[in-house]
Amino acid sequence: MGNKVVVLMATYNGMSWLPEQVESILRQSNVNVKLIVSDDASSDGSRTWLQNLDLSDDRVQLLPGKIGTGSPGKNFYRLILDADIADADFIAFADQDDIWLTHKLADQIEQVHKYDVCAVSSNVVAFWADGSRYLINKSEPKNKFDFLFESAGPGCSFMVKPVLLLQAREVLEKTLNKATLPELHDWFIYAVCRAFGEKWHIDQRPLLKYRQHGDNAVGVNFGMRVTISRFNYIRRGWYRGEVQKISRIVMGITTNRELHDVCLLLTRLSFLDRCKLILTHPYTRRNYFERILLTLLIASFTF
């Protein structure tokens, strides 16, 4: 019945949305789906519901143990390390609260072959309970170093070949100090892919509905309140710290001297390093205005 796609889902207190999301995953067309779930010690009945589904549907597997990481990223890292993907043709990542279009996985498999890439992601349509919709565009042309500064988009839109998952697993296993891992697993996966020289395609078509609510770990990046919140993250050094974590990981992977040198500049950030980084601004973030803003932040020592 087509390719086997292992879908990795991290959950925590998602009972309000899990049934609809799981149904949208299991009804994917023209593929053979295996859903592997890691639950982060939910207290709202999510784990019990998943245990019952594990027993009643052989397409669903709940990983054992209550891990209690308190972090979606760490929960996904656990999935990368522990999920059995031995017979998978592809691996996809899923949040607990979205809704996938029925043809999402089949379309992405077609894109992998069409563009001869190791991984694909897509734009998504954010939606709210009041019926509002908003297209999140992440498909601007990729830049030489964009993966040092941002993800390819929401991780819930990712599909990768097994070789990339195994590369990510190897990097995780070699990272003895887990505190040095970036908080966002999707950014990590994108960076690992590009650092190994693998190709990635970002599709313009939205292939899932990206639910927005008060408990989103990462939500839509627009609006004055969100802009202020993001600026505070930058001012407190969170974004700089995450870029430096990614840069150190990439330095341990890449054989490209130019990329290695840019990573070194980002980890040191001396006055001279910042001057050199400003010269790389055409090759940083994919969005033009975000590239300009990043350059200003580097020049003003805000980054």
Q: List, for residues 155-164, the tens digit of each pLDDT value.
A: 999 999 999 9
What SS3 state is found at 49?
Answer: helix
Can you tell me the distance from the alpha carbon of 284 to that of 236, in angstroms, rounded to the nearest whole number? 21
Can you tell me the distance from the alpha carbon of 136 to that of 301, in angstroms, rounded to the nearest whole number? 29
- Give the helix/strand (H/E) hosting 48: helix 46-56
Spatial CA neighbour of 43 closest among 13, 11, 74: 13
To 10 degrees, what angle do helices 72-82 and 162-174 make?
Answer: 110
Structural domains of the chain, ranges and CATH numbers in brackets:
4-211 (3.90.550.10), 224-299 (no CATH)
Write down the mean pLDDT value for the chain. Answer: 93
- Give the helix/strand (H/E) hosting 6: strand 4-11
pTM summary value? 0.93
Percentage, residues of the chain above pLDDT 70: 93
141 burial level (CB within 10 Å; 0-12, 13-18, 19+)? exposed
Amino acid 179: pLDDT: 78
The answer on pLDDT for 111 being more than 60 is yes
